[in-house]
Amino acid sequence: MSKKLLHKTSKAYLIFALLLLLVAAPLFYILIEKLYIDDADEALLLHKNEFIQYSVKNLKTTDVPIWNKFNRDIKIIKATSLKKDSLFYTFYYDTLYNENEPYRELRLPIKIEGKSYTYSARINLVETSDLIESIAILFLVIISLLLIGLFFISKRLSLNLWKPFYKTLLQIEQFEIDKSNLPQFAETDTEEFNRLNQSIQKLIEKNTSIYRGQREFIENAAHELQTPLAVFQAKIDTLIQRNDVTQEQSEILSSLNDNVSKLNRLNKNLLLLSKIENDHYANKQTFYLKEAIEKNLGFFIEQAAAKNISIKTDIDPSFSIVSNPVLAEVLISNLFLNALKHNISNGQITITFSNQLLSFSNTGLPTTLTTDKLFNRFSKSNTSEHGNGLGLAIVKKIVDSNDWTIRYNFNHNFHCFTIDFRKF
């Protein structure tokens, strides 16, 4: 499933923000903790230097108990095997809070009146730890708010930035080359979008001009061919009716007559397509579908009888449609012709209507047709057919001009063309 560009960029931004939080939060906590430990060590070393410089030389062994009594965090204890300064973590029981609390402690060997002692200074890390946690939480909250704010600001900004693009996209989606509604792209303050709009405008104008030129050429050519084809047909009919025509000449004339008839049908179909595309049949009115079908039914029953094909109908007489009557008649006629042409001897044609769905079903080849080019002009399911391949193309054009839909399916050995008159 495809996703919007904005969703993709937002997702990438969100993933980056989460990864940044996961990495930055513990790293920030570790760095802050290290800074505070370094600060505690620096304070312990400062107290040591002050003690060595100002206090130890004036102390006597008899003053040690008094010193220890009035100094809570700096003690003079019995000598240990310690040879040099030592900084380490330790825990001491706090009688006030009835719990062990973490400390950073410094110990070093000293001499008082020639006797060996150990200097012990400590700093409580509980307040430091609480402060670090508070700073870390504050950092996390600020970074989270910053990232969330940036995310929504970026999303909002992106929506505004991409508005011209979506407007352009909407106009392109609604554009139909066979209609006169050329898109009008508004000027934007973004250079790239202006360039895009200008390029699309030029492309549409160029292709529309080419399309209209081709359409006018087909219509003009079809009009111009009508007269010479009619004259050609009349001349052939005259020659066929002559008494001095030999058998060989008669066969040649018959072949020419068939080809002229085919050219006439092709010319009329091309002219019809051109008129539909030029909204020549824009005048619409309401009429009953059953009447339009029964108007052609008698003729096609006679045609079907030649191949022993039966025709069954089940049409709601009360259902009406809004369309151009001429186009509706052409639509039904072409569906009838398609069902007859591609049928088999002793076959069947069924015409039904239910739930605003008109279906023409017919027996025929026991394989499904290729649907991707079924409604294309000059497309034939069988190259040996005598038709010009415009019948279903005309049906599709008529359906599209009325905002209906048509679909094909092969079910239970029946080829079914269904027109949906519902407009969504």
Separation of CA 51 from chain center: 75
Q: What is the pLDDT of residue 384?
A: 46
Q: Give the CB-side neighbour count of residue 289, counting CA atoms within 13 A.
A: 22
Give the residues of the chain that fall short of pLDDT 70: 1-8, 127-129, 178-180, 379-388, 424
CA–CA separation, 120 vs 90, rounded Å?
Answer: 12
Q: Are 121 and 71 in contact (CB under 8 A)?
A: no
The residue assigned the tokens 């940036």 is 150
Q: Full-prediction pTM beyond 0.75?
A: no
Q: What are phi and psi of 279, to 5 degrees?
A: 55, 35
Domains of the chain from N-terminus onward: 5-158 (3.30.450), 179-280 (1.10.287.130), 285-420 (3.30.565.10)
Checking DSSP bridges between strand 99-112 and strand 115-124, what pairing results, if any? antiparallel
pLDDT (tens digit per residue) in 132-175 = 777 778 877 887 888 788 778 777 777 788 888 888 888 888 88
For residue 408, the model assigns a pLDDT of: 92
pLDDT recorded at residue 342: 87
